[in-house]
Amino acid sequence: MSIAKLAHYSIRSTRLEASRKFYVEVLGLREGFRPPFDFPGHWLYRGGDEAEFGVVHLIGIDKDDPQGLDDYLGAKGEETLYGSAAVDHLAFLATNLPDMHRRLDQAGCVFRERTVPSLGLHQVFVEDPSGVTIELNYPSHEATRA
């Protein structure tokens, strides 16, 4: 099985600072490393270990320049970002990228990929039948072999 475990969930927030305060001050998560994406956000971690890329990713919307976010994760209307609709995607840590490529191709799934160079992480994004975005995270060396 290529899915190792649930990695994180991401929330696209119109109230980024209020969301950060809630997760840090109320729930007790801690802010940590986040790659230099072209959109605002925070990666929140449980404890001191940053090896698995955080448990909650908060995604902010730059109203003056939304293009970076739109290019990376796709456009979503702000009016839709409330309740469970604010959950942008669920991410899993995974292995065996060639097998997942085969499975996605056989199922006729459209997917997109990118590598986050500052993390050595290769990402595959695909939507489930309900339109929920699923992010699959692989070690980047698997992408160079694939």
Q: Which CATH class is domain 3-145?
A: alpha beta
Query: What tens digit of pLDDT does each residue of 34-76 get?
Result: 999 999 999 999 888 887 889 999 999 998 999 999 999 999 9
Reduced DSSP (H G I as helix, E B as strand, rest coil) percent helix, strand, coil of the chain, to 5: 30, 35, 35
Would you kindly state where each structural domain of the chain is located, as residue ranges? 3-145
Query: What tens digit of pLDDT does each residue of 82-126 get?
Result: 888 889 899 999 999 999 999 999 999 999 999 987 888 999 999
Mean pLDDT calculated for residue range 6-18? 91
The SS3 assignment for 60 reads strand
Q: Is the pLDDT of residue 28 over 80?
A: yes
Please report which confidence band the pLDDT of residue 27 belongs to, taking 50, 70 and 90 as the band edges. confident
108: left (phi over 0), alpha (psi -120 to 50) or beta: left
pTM of the model: 0.75
